[in-house]
Amino acid sequence: MAPPGLPYFKMNGIGNAILVVDGRTSGFVVTSSTARAAAAQPGLGFDQLMAIGRPRDGHRDAFVTIFNADGTESGACGNGTRCVAWALLRDSVETAVTVETAAGRLACRRLGPLRFSVDMGSPTLAWNAIPLARAVSDLQHVPLRPVAGLPADLSHCAAVGMGNPHAVVFVPDVAAIPLAEVGPAIEHDPMFPARTNVSFAQVIDRSTIRLRVWERSAGATLACGSAACATAVAAVRAGRTDREVRVMLPGGDLAIEWRAEDGHVVMTGDVVLEHAGLLPAEVVEATG
């Protein structure tokens, strides 16, 4: 049981609904039950809950556990990590912070009052680490089972790991894709044993991509930072874009760079604080 006064910040990263819960002072540990209870509260609904805990490594500032609204855990959330960076740096003169997640270390930097960059690390480009169900010779052409609503000539995707699995499908017009029908089918494609985030990408030019995303365990979202990163990587690997791109999502734009010098993907964008408060007792008491 947590002591009274467990703070939260209701935020969004270009429309990606984020709930940040800070348990460092109390030692409170957010669980799947906490996340589900919080998601059911009016005004607290989220795509991802970012639970800030005490650092497990002396060289980090915090350990962050990421939950989807259904209580399942996620390995990465770039938009949520920018919100965490804001929460950790809001009362500090420092401009950099390093957090640890299940997917590894993430270095964050404040570029303005509400603008942050996150070094998301290197993409995973090994079939068994993404993971896929079986070896595939070309991760840019991973076969998909036929899906109603998806043109027959778009029967494959690019697979990329960015702390969680991503399937990227390049299409001529993202607006023409029936996301609510096609997204769940690809999310549960047997090729992805842990399920997958699904991105439909329209390359506008060598520095611009329009993107719509179906998130694993969250559904259609206004934005997904790790999906934007995975899409940029897939686009560069296919020779479609340069290494620095603007990714246009329904909630806003992200600047993505896949650095040549170290292979890391850096994501930059704004965050918004909607409101802050203390978690209701029924949410805290749901923890188990």
Annotated catalytic sites, by residue?
A: 77, 224
Cis peptide before 143 (omega within 30 of 0): no
In whole angstroms, what is the distance from residue 263 CA to residue 122 CA? 5
Enter the tokens of residue 264: 């890391």
Task: Tell me how far CA of residue 210 lies from CA of 142, 233, 234, 246, in angstroms.
Answer: 21, 14, 14, 8
In whole angstroms, what is the distance from residue 170 CA to residue 186 CA? 14
Enter the tokens of residue 250: 């329904």
Do the beta carbons of residue 231 and residue 209 sit within 8 Å?
yes
Task: Tell me how far CA of residue 136 lies from CA of 24, 153, 254, in angstroms.
Answer: 43, 19, 30
Do the beta carbons of residue 284 and residue 277 sit within 8 Å?
no
Residue with tokens 């090994």: 126
In whole angstroms, what is the distance from residue 48 CA to residue 276 CA? 16
Q: H or E element: which one contains 268?
A: strand 265-270
Q: What are phi and psi of 233, to 5 degrees?
A: -60, -45
Residue with tokens 């942050």: 116
Residue 128 CB contacts under 8 Å (≥ 6 apart), including other chains: 135
Angle at the Cα of 69 from the Cα atoms of 191 and 19, rounded to 5 degrees: 125
DSSP letter, residue 26: T
Closest CA to 16 of 279, 193, 274: 274
